Amino acid sequence: MRILIVEDECGLADALGAILKKENYSVDISNDGESGLENALTGVYDCIILDIMLPKMNGLDVLTYLRVKNIETPVILLTAKSETDDKIKGLDCGADDYLTKPFSTGELLARVRALTRRKGTTADINPKYADITLDIKRGELICGENSVILGRKEFQMMEMLISNAGQIITKETFVKKVWGYDDDSEYNNVEVYISFLRKKLQMLHSRVQIKTRRGIGYCLDGAK
Ligand code: CA
């Protein structure tokens, strides 16, 4: 899962980024409306956290433009207490949710979870496939009694594989979601990380394998 934070208070943006990274999300930060819009238009994000009062272009204009361009990424607006009107305008512009500053970490994470595919309570959000489970809180891959810690990129790739079990995920999709943006030089990294994941699956004695569909991508196979 990849999240964009558009917030000009650098301290707040960095703090939010750190919280989300701890939950194994990939995070990009833009500190003004224009660069936020530019990033958001790539369409690679699973959720956008968008402040309203921003330099260069305000959050409501960013949001309006995104929806005009058919970018349907869920957006959480950040509003100050005094901006009640903006809240209503924001929802009219196509925001999915809003948070009034100051807000708690738990509140933010709950909203993000609600808008991305990680739905439900902590107990039932851990993705499962065949004999493996991904522990989102701990960043671990579990098989029976065995578990292994995954690096952030490994974690995200495994999350994508499990959430789309049975479907092939292309290298391009991995690069866009895990590394961000289209960059040919990154394609070899996908292979490297897939090989790390294969080693870890073997360490766990899991029956799950990551199959290569040559020229297309990768998918999980738990039918060994
Ligand atoms: Ca602001």
Distance 90 CA to ligand 1 centre (A): 15
**Over the stretch 71-117, which tens digit does the pLDDT of each residue have?**
989 999 998 866 778 778 888 889 999 898 888 989 999 999 888 86
Over range 171-181, report the average pLDDT: 82
Quote the distance between the C-alpha of residue 206 and its chain's center: 26
> What secondary structure does DSSP assign to 151-168, as a single string?
-HHHHHHHHHHHHTTTS-
Distance 109 CA to ligand 1 centre (A): 20
**Over the stretch 21-51, which tens digit does the pLDDT of each residue have?**
988 888 999 999 999 999 999 888 999 999 9
Which one is predicted more confidently, 183 or 72? 72
Tell me the pLDDT band of 137, cut-offs 50, 70 and 90.
confident
Q: What is the dihedral of CA 6, 138, 160, 157, to 10 degrees?
A: 90
Distance 50 CA to ligand 1 centre (A): 9
Distance 104 CA to ligand 1 centre (A): 17
Distance 152 CA to ligand 1 centre (A): 29
What residue type is assigned to position 81 of the chain? K
Buried b (16+ CB within 10 A) or exposed e, 85-123: ebbebbeebbbbbbbeeeeeeeebbebbbebbebeeeee
Distance 13 CA to ligand 1 centre (A): 10
Percent of the chain with pLDDT over 90: 56
pLDDT for the residue numbered 122: 42
Q: Are 141 and 158 in contact (CB under 8 A)?
A: yes
Over range 120-133, report the average pLDDT: 73
Which one is predicted more confidently, 211 or 118? 211
Residue 200 sits at φ, ψ, to 5 deg, of -70, -35
Distance 70 CA to ligand 1 centre (A): 25
Which pTM was predicted?
Answer: 0.69
Tell me the pLDDT band of 187, cut-offs 50, 70 and 90.
low
Distance 160 CA to ligand 1 centre (A): 33
Considering only CA atoms, which of 35, 47, 43, 32 is closest in space to residue 77?
47
Which one is predicted more confidently, 166 or 195? 195
Distance 32 CA to ligand 1 centre (A): 9
Distance 79 CA to ligand 1 centre (A): 8
> Hey, how many other C-beta atoms are within 10 angstroms of the C-beta on 13?
19
- Strand-pairing partners, residue 221, are 209
* Of 77-81, 108-112, 170-174, 209-213, minimum mean pLDDT range: 77-81
Distance 55 CA to ligand 1 centre (A): 8
* Of 36-45, 116-125, 148-157, 188-197, minimum mean pLDDT range: 116-125
What residues have CB less than 8 Å from 91, skipping those under 6 apart? 98
